[in-house]
Structure 1
C-alpha cells in the first residue's frame, strides 16, 4: 500500500511538472495604459510558439492562451493573439483630470498638463502634430507621424494606436509618467525577457476657440422666398426627399457624375439627429457652418460660395462614443436631383474609442443647383436616419 501511494505521488508530481507553464520562446510583454477619455490597458504579447499551435502565460491573475496572431488593426508584427484577440485588454483605474487643451482659430494651442515633463500630441481626426511644449499658451504644433516617440512604445505600436484614434474628432494625448499611475505593472509568468510600459492620458473633444481680442462678425441672412435655412427659418435647409430652394440658376438635368469638394468634416455638430442640410446662398452656408461647429466656441472662416454652387451638410446625429465618421465618396445628378454617395464608418468590435458623445458630419460643395438632394450608401440604399443608428464600413 505504501509503495502504491509513493508511486502515485511520484506519477502526480511528474504530471504536474509536465503541465508547468513554459510560455512561448523569446517572450516579451509591452503594455500601454490609457486614461481619461479612454480607460483601458492594452497589452501586446510577443513570442515564438516554437512549432506548436498554442502556448500560455499568466498575466496578472489571468492565465491566457496564446496562438498565432489574428487580423486586427492593433495586431503588430511579432505578437501573438491572446484568448483569440490581437491584444490583452482590461480596464484601467480612474484618475483625476491631467490635461486641458483648447485650439484657437489661428491654429495655436493653450495647454495645461498636470504632469511633469510629458509630451502632448494633437490630432484633428486626420493628421497628428506634437505641441512645442507640454504646458503654456500660444503653443504651436509640428506635424509628426502619429504617436511615435510617445513613452516606451515601439514605432509599430505607436502607428497602430495612432490609426485607432483617427476619425474620432479633435483629441489630445499626453504622455504620463508610467511609474506614478495607479495601475501597477502586471506580474507575468514565466518572466518575460522584456517588459515595457507606457501611460497616456486621452482628452477627447478638444475645442476650437476664438482668441481674446479677436473681432467676430455677425452674418445677416436674407431669406429667399419659399426657402428655409439650416435650423433657422432662413435660406437653405432640406431633409432627405424634400426639394432644394431655388437659386435662379439652371437646374442640373443630366444623369452624369458631378465633381465635389469636401469643405470640412468633424464629430461635434450641434445637430443631434440625422439630417441632410442644403445651402444655396452665402448666408445659408454661414448658418450651416454654425450648425456644424455649434458645440465649439469658435468657427473657422466660412469659404465664399460662388453663384450656381450648392453646399450640402450630411449629419449622422448623436453617437454614444468616438469612432464614427461620414464622408462623401461620389456625386451624380439626373433630372435636377443630386445624389451623394456617402461612406459611414462605425467602430468595429474591440476598437479603441473615446468615451464621449459625438455627432459626426461632413460638408461638401458641388457645382449647380438642384431641386432635390438624396444621400445613399455604396449599395444605393438611403442613408440610415435616427440617433443611435450607424453603419459598419
Structure 2
C-alpha cells in the first residue's frame, strides 16, 4: 500500500516537473521600453482565458497572474490584466541622453537625435504632433493621434500610451533603434505566438523659445485701456525646469526686469536663448508653478483682459491624471507672456476664476 502510494506520488511529481506553463490561448506579448525621463518597461499581454477565470505566464523570469482586463487608461482591447493591473511593468536600465528638442513661437522645432532611430513626436500636453524630420532646424510637424506609427506599437497601444503621457507639459518622444538599448527582449514562458518590441526615448520639459532670431513675435495689437476688453497676448517661452521653488507671478516692464525673468526661467538649464527686446509700452508676465516632485504638471495662459488699469490673466493648470506615466524627476513649470500696455496691477486666475496661489511648492496644483 505504501509502496503503491509512493510510486503514485513520484509519478505525479515527475509529470508536473515535465509540464511547462501553458498560459492563455492565442498568447501575444507586446512591450514598449521607455528611457530618458521615464525608465519603465510596459508589457501588454494578449490572450484568451477560455473557460478558466485565470491563468499565468512567466515574464522576465517572474510568474504573472493573468485574469480578465481591468478598467484603466492603458487597457487595450484583447489584453488581459497582469497581477491585477492593465499592464505588466518593469524598470529599464539607464540610458544616456539621446534627444534634444526646442520649439519656437512659430511652432517650428530644432531637433538633434544621437541615435539611428526613427520618428520624433511632440506634445504640448494636450495634442500630439509627429515631426517631419528626426533632425534639423525649422522642422515642422503633422498632427497625429497619440503615438501612431511609432515603432511596432499597434494603433490602440499608441493611442493608450500617448494618452498616458499627456498632461505633463511639453515633451518629446523619439523612436530608438532597438539594437542600441541596454535591455534585451523580454523572456516569456510559454513562447508567445507573437512578440512585438518598441523602444522610445522620452524627453520632458521641451522649452518654447523665441523665433530663431530671438526676437519677440508680436500678436495683433489690442488697446490695453479698453475697460473689460480682451487683450492680445503672445507666449514668449515656456518650460518645466525653472529655478523657482514656489509658485509666483513676476512682472517685467523694463529690459533689466525681463532679463531677470529669463534667468529665473532658464536658470536650471545648460543654455539660455537671447533675451528679446521689450518695447517701452509692453509688459511681460512670468507665471511660475513652483517645484513639483514629478512630471505631469503644467501652466499655460489661455486668456487676458483688462479693466480699470488691472490686467487679468487666465491660466490652465495641469496635473498628472490617474494611470498617467509621469516623468520621475523634479520639475518647475513656467510660462512667459507679453501683453501690450502697462498696468497698475496684474492678477492671475485659473479657468474657474479662482486666484492663482503664490508661495506654494512641492505639492499638488490647487
Q: Are residue 91 (structure 1) and residue 91 (structure 2) matched? A: yes
3-state SS of paired residue (2:146): coil
Could you tell me whether the CA contact under 8 Å between 2:119 and 2:150 is conserved in 1?
yes
| Larger CA deviation: 108-117 vs 175-184 | 108-117
Could you tell me whether the CA contact under 8 Å between 1:169 and 1:268 is conserved in 2?
no
Could you tell me whether the CA contact under 8 Å between 1:168 and 1:267 is conserved in 2?
no
Q: Are residue 62 (structure 1) and residue 36 (structure 2) matched? A: no
Instruction: Give the drift of 1:158.
Output: 0.8
3-state SS of paired residue (1:138): strand
Q: Are residue 7 (structure 1) and residue 8 (structure 2) matched? A: yes
Q: 1:52 to 1:11 in 2, by over 3 A?
A: same
Equivalence map 1:225-240=2 (5 Å):
none
Instruction: Give the drift of 1:192.
Output: 1.2
Could you tell me whether the CA contact under 8 Å between 1:103 and 1:209 is conserved in 2?
yes
Could you tell me whether the CA contact under 8 Å between 1:332 and 1:338 is conserved in 2?
yes
Q: Are residue 297 (structure 1) and residue 272 (structure 2) matched? A: yes
Residue deviations 1:190-240, cap 9 Å, x none? 22111100011122223444566x2648xxxxxxxxxxxxxxxxxxxxxxx
Instruction: Give the drift of 1:389.
Output: 1.1
Instruction: Give the drift of 1:268.
Output: 3.9
| Larger CA deviation: 147-156 vs 264-273 | 264-273
Q: Are residue 274 (structure 1) and residue 247 (structure 2) matched? A: yes
Number of equivalent positions: 352
Distance of 2:277 and 2:128 partners within structure 1: 24
Equivalence map 1:1-393=2 (5 Å):
1-13=2-14, 16=16, 21-209=21-209, 214=213, 216=215, 266-277=239-250, 290=262, 294=266, 297-298=272-273, 314-326=287-299, 344-348=317-321, 351-361=324-334, 373=347, 375=349, 383=357, 385-391=359-365
Q: Which residue of 2 aligns with 1:240?
A: none
Distance of 1:302 and 1:125 partners within structure 2: 29
Instruction: Give the drift of 1:65.
Output: 0.8
Residue deviations 1:295-315, cap 9 Å, x none? 5734898999x99xx997653
Residue deviations 1:3-60, cap 9 Å, x none? 332122234446x379863212221110001112221111011112223322211001
TM-score, normalised relative to structure 2? 0.75
Name stretches of at least 5 consecutive residues in structure 1 with no aligned partner. Answer: 218-247, 253-257
3-state SS of paired residue (1:134): coil
Could you tell me whether the CA contact under 8 Å between 1:41 and 1:91 is conserved in 2?
yes
3-state SS of paired residue (1:179): helix
Q: 1:379 to 1:28 in 2, by over 3 A?
A: farther
Distance of 2:189 and 2:60 partners within structure 1: 9
| Larger CA deviation: 133-142 vs 343-352 | 343-352
Could you tell me whether the CA contact under 8 Å between 2:250 and 2:261 is conserved in 1?
no
CA RMSD of aligned residues (A): 4.5
Distance of 2:230 and 2:68 partners within structure 1: 46
TM-score, normalised relative to structure 1? 0.70
3-state SS of paired residue (1:65): strand
Q: 1:104 to 1:29 in 2, by over 3 A?
A: same
Name stretches of at least 5 consecutive residues in structure 2 with no aligned partner. Answer: 217-223
